[in-house]
Structure 1
Amino acid sequence: MLKFPQGFWWGAATSGPQAEGTFNKPHKNVFDYWYEIEPEVFHNKVGPDITSSFYHSYREDIEMIKSIGLNSFRTSIQWSRLIKDFETGEVDEDAVRFYNGVIDQCIKNNITPVMALHHFDLPVELYDKYGGWESKHVVDLFAIFASKAFELFADRVKHWVTFNEPIVVVEGQYLYQFHYPKIVDGRKAVQVAFNINLASAKAVQVFKDGGYSEDGKIGIVVNLTPSYPRSDSNEDKKAGDIADLFFNRLFLDPAVKGKFPAEIVDLLLKDDVLWSCTQEELLIIEKNTVDFLGVNYYQPRRVMAREEGFNGTEWMPHKYFDNYEMPGRRMNVHRGWEIYPKALYDISINLKENYNNIPWYVSENGMGVEGEEKFINSEGYIEDDYRIEFIQEHLEWLHKGISEGSNCFGYHLWTPIDCWSWMNAYKNRYGYISLDLQTQKKTVKKSGYWIKEVVEKNGF
């Protein structure tokens, strides 16, 4: 029997843009707009308009989450929903009503609400007007948004997240073209990385200056993809170190330690793409570190030294390494991702030994599967034994890390109810609870019944 620490968070995560639908929003975010102009790039042309209709069904959805035993739940407050006037911070009253309802429903069901402020959903108006995260003015507007969210909801929400997976904004929008506006510009990508670090620190500063840290905590959610080199050769290990610097430590180190790794600063300076900043901004980052960390983990990154020269015209991080497909690796064929649960143990020990053993939790982990309807049994629910096996294996390695002293306080699956997933839309399903997109009927899967027993025993 593997027992977890007392008070362990057993929960699940979603986000505003992936669950709420676009009902009654005063503004569009970048994905709302992208779907409007290019619906064909989204799987089966399914966009964010309705999703799982959390805007209308949050009471019933939260009660379903409670029915499978979960004691914590992360979602996000949409900037494009809450704020009517970005410059003044004037709020939309319907949004205030909605988010109050969500928070109160969580508390009524003894579920700890965790609220993120940004989940890839920059208001498109701020991109069109200022260049989005390329702009320091947008950083200041984000601080205004954060202050309004804290002012309205921090009396009940005691766990806040500034950004979810900020490196994905850098990758998707400015390097690898899987998020709107699909730019390839290494210099802009690096500046955006700095600006988002600054925006996160400014939100932490607002939280502390407002007195919300007296009984609340604020963190950041980073997706950590441990970079495993192909071999022990110096060349492969150097490739792994550089991949780790850019994709993991570029946000992890400033958030927890208040400083960028000297190695990445030196590398970017050498390549003449280092961000523009002031000493005052660096001091804000240094003084406003996070209270806790959320870690999203899905797959490892396996890298090797480049065997051919880099011929790109734009600066790209992969000029220093190449991806490596390890022979015999286990795969989730639906998503094209490697399954490697031991990485959660490696993350646990890394945070313990190199990041002051900061309190942290697994904020996302999960298995996306296509065509789950073929696993519906005679009783009408999906028998997703593959998901149970996936979760259990990851929890076993996580438990080992905790038993060796890593300060992990929870595990959240992505996601409670099958949700819309950007360009993939509903191609792959992740939830403990299935969604019939046409009828909006929601049904607990076998994994949902399984996790309820795990929560009741605080282990398995």
Structure 2
Amino acid sequence: MNKSPKGFPEDFLWGGAIAANQAEGAFDVDGKGMCIADINAFQGDLPLEKRCNLEMDTSQIKAAMADQEGNYPKRRGIGFYYTYPEDLKLLAEMGLKSFRFSVNWARIFPNGDEEEPNGEGLAFYDRLIDEIIKNGMEPMITISHYEMPLHLTTAYNGWYSRELVDFFYRYCCVLFDRFHDRVKLWIPVNQINMIHFESFNHLGIAGDRAENLLQAKYQGIHHEFVACAMAAGYAHSRYPDLKIGVMLCGGPASPKDSGPENVLAAVRHNQMEYFYSDVALRGYYPGYALRFFEDNGIELQFADGDEEILKNTADFFSFSYYYMKVCDEESFRQGNRTYRNPSLSANEWGWSLDPVGLRTMLNLFYDRYQCPIYITENGMGFCDSVEQGQIQDTYRIDYYRAHIEQMREAVRDGVDLRGYYAWGPIDIVSCSSSEMTKRYGFIYVDYDDYGKGTGKRIRKASYEWMRNVIRSNGEDLN
């Protein structure tokens, strides 16, 4: 009889992940158009836990597009568009085996609806991919990571408009054709289940341009499903060695307590989190989702052929993990909501510390899908301080140690875990709060929330610790 594995596979991908919009800067360089992230403002007058990007209406979108004086940190990022050779060298020296990044959609199709791509944008990603490989790392590409061209929001209505299916499909085909010889791992949409939080950044649907915004969001998700399935079909037929994934943000929630109503509410909530990956990996709409739509008065429009297109399924499952949430009957009735577990400690932004939840999710996902899994984001934001040129971030080491221990246990449980990507291995602008104060990296970047600083890169104490972890393939966590 075979025994459970005692450690990570020899070819395990220890990786790091960033998004173009949070790192590159150069938001108006070399033909790039404006994307959704370019209008995420830093709201420094709000408390830490309330700095987040919410829904936007048309007037707010147009005002932000025209604003040349406000503080929009994602327009400048950390200058990765220019510093990527040095930054990748630092990450390679830490031992990373893989690097996940996104292609900024508006850098390839500035408006999103052009017939031909922007050659300068493609050339930049040629250089970036070559540099990743030169440094001994395997590239993983996220095709859409909150970088939809703003023109697709203002001239159309984001993913609510059926036209985006063809626009996105064209964009995917261009990338596959250009990079297929060097990039084998692809995620079409980052955190495709982000429909409540960060939903404008994800779907690009202005809040004032839909009579029923929830229905518009689910219709937009359907259009994404179709576009992603079309892209998977194209990749599989033209380039059989490419692997196409689906990615969720977190996933299942725990019931508040053992009360039967709360247990059932958690089951129903979790089904609607699995919904996205069920469609992507199984190729059809499950019955529980049809019931949910009927109960909530949501009527989705399918075009002829959509159901057949959805049969072009993904190859692997991936997810971002930050912490596991809680659900009860009341929160489910109030829009299928969840909330933070009040029994867990949290960082200054209210994000819980829950490493055991990672093992729980890994087991739940693998039991359901029995396919390769990648953790494509994991990390926690902290306020780092530089003292005598050093950052002693022992709290970050403690965080990663606890999560890697639980990953190792999940591998022993039989989970087919192929890779782990620390989120923001180098400090980047925060996705949700558009600030630099909330730092994730093993490498410090000397910029503040207003873009002031030298831009100098400094290895934190966690850098050397993570290098030992990778060198030992997850055995040395001391």
Task: Tell me if TM exceeds 0.5.
Answer: yes
Mapped contact 1:172–1:180 kept (Cα < 8 A): no
Q: Which residue of 244, 251, 254 maps to 1:218?
A: 244
Residue 421 of structure 1: how far off its partner (Å): 1.9
Structure 1 pair 187/106, CA: closer, same or farther in 2 (3 Å)? same
**SS of the residue 2:74 aligns to:** coil
CA distance in 2, matches of 1:47, 1:324: 28
Partner of 1:189: 217
RMSD of aligned alpha carbons: 2.6
Cα-to-partner distance string for 1:331-365 (whole Å, 9 max, x where unaligned): 22x2201111111111221122211x110111000
Q: Distance in 1 between matches of 2:336 and 2:263?
A: 10
Tell me which residue corresponds to 1:17.
21
Change (3 A) 1:326 1:93: closer
List aligned pairs for 1:17-96, cutoff 5 A.
17-21=21-25, 22=27, 23-33=29-39, 35=41, 37-38=63-64, 45-84=71-110, 86-96=112-122
Matched AA of 1:172:
E
**For 1:121, which of 133, 147, 162 is the aligned residue?**
147
Change in 2 beyond 3 A, CA 1:245/1:279: farther
Contact 1:230–1:324 at 8 Å: present in 2 too? no
Counterpart of 1:364, as a letter, is: E
Rate the CA distance shift 1:30–1:322 in 2: closer, same or farther, 3 A: closer
Kindly indicate whether the alpha-carbon contact (under 8 Å) linking 1:190 and 1:274 is maintained by their aligned counterparts in 2: no
1:239 & 1:169 partners in 2: Cα distance? 18
Counterpart of 1:221 in 2: which secondary structure?
Answer: strand
1:365 counterpart (374, 378, 400): 378
Tell me, yes or no, if the aligned pair for 1:33 and 1:124 is still in contact at 8 Å: no
Structure 2 Cα separation of the partners of residues 130 and 170 of structure 1? 21
1:453 aligns with 468
How far did 1:234 drift? 1.7
Partner of 2:408: 399
Tell me how far 1:113 sits from its aligned partner: 0.5
SS in 2 for 1:91: coil
Gapped regions of structure 2 (runs ≥ 5): 42-61, 448-452
> What is aligned with 1:163?
189
1:3 is aligned to: 7
What do residues 126-155 of structure 1 show as CA deviations (whole Å, max 9, x unaligned)? 111121100111111100000001111111
Q: TM-score, normalised by structure 1?
A: 0.89
**Which 5+ residue runs of structure 1 have no aligned equivalent?**
308-316
Shift of 1:381: 2.2
- 1:236 is displaced (CA, Å) by 0.1
Displacement of 1:299 in angstroms is: 1.2
C-alpha change, 1:302 and 1:265, in structure 2 (3 Å) is same
Q: Secondary structure at the match of 2:193?
A: helix
Letter in 1 for 2:173: S
Counterparts of 1:98-109 in structure 2, within 5 Å, are: 98-109=124-135
CA shift for structure 1 position 254: 0.9
* Equivalent AA in structure 1 for residue 437 of structure 2: K
- Deviation, 1:178, is 12
Equivalent residue, structure 1, for 2:445: 435
Tell me if the contact between 1:304 and 1:324 (Cα under 8 Å) persists in the aligned partners: no
- Summarize the alignment of residues 324-363 of structure 1 with structure 2, pairs less than 5 Å apart: 326-332=341-347, 334-355=348-369, 357-363=370-376
Q: 1:95 to 1:282 in 2, by over 3 A?
A: same
1:216-365 mapped onto 2 (5 Å cutoff): 216-246=242-272, 248-278=273-303, 280-285=305-310, 287-306=311-330, 318-319=333-334, 323=338, 326-332=341-347, 334-355=348-369, 357-365=370-378
Shift, 1:179, TM fit = 7.8
Counterpart amino acid of 1:212? Y
CA separation of 1:250 and 1:322: change in aligned 2, threshold 3 A = closer
Greater shift, 400-409 or 82-91, is seen at: 82-91
Query: What CA distance in whole angstroms lies between the structure 2 residues aligned with 1:223 and 1:145?
Result: 23
Match of 1:424 in 2: 434
CA distance in 2, matches of 1:148, 1:178: 21
Aligned positions, number: 438
Distance 2:112 2:437 in 1: 34
Contact 2:12–2:419 under 8 Å retained in 1: yes
Query: What's the CA shift string for 1:208-239, capped at 9, x where partnerless?
Result: 23x212x2211122112321001122210122
% identical equivalent positions? 27
Q: For 1:100-139, what per-residue CA distance to the aligned partner results, in whole angstroms no more than 9, with x for missing partners?
A: 1110001111100001100011111011112110011111
Question: 1:312 maps to which residue?
Answer: none
- Alignment-mate amino acid for residue 329 of structure 2: A
Q: Alpha carbons of 1:46 and 1:180: their partners in 2 closer, same or farther (altered >3 Å)?
A: farther
Distance 2:130 2:333 in 1: 46
Q: Does structure 2 retain, via aligned residues, the 8 Å contact 1:204–1:290?
A: yes
Aligned partners of 1:13, 1:229: CA distance in 2, in Å?
31
61-70 or 1-10, which deviates more? 1-10
Q: Which amino acid aligns with 1:416?
A: P
Q: Which moved more, 1:20-29 or 1:182-191?
A: 182-191
Q: In the aligned structure 2, how far is the partner of 1:3 from the partner of 1:142? A: 39
| Structure with higher helix content | 1
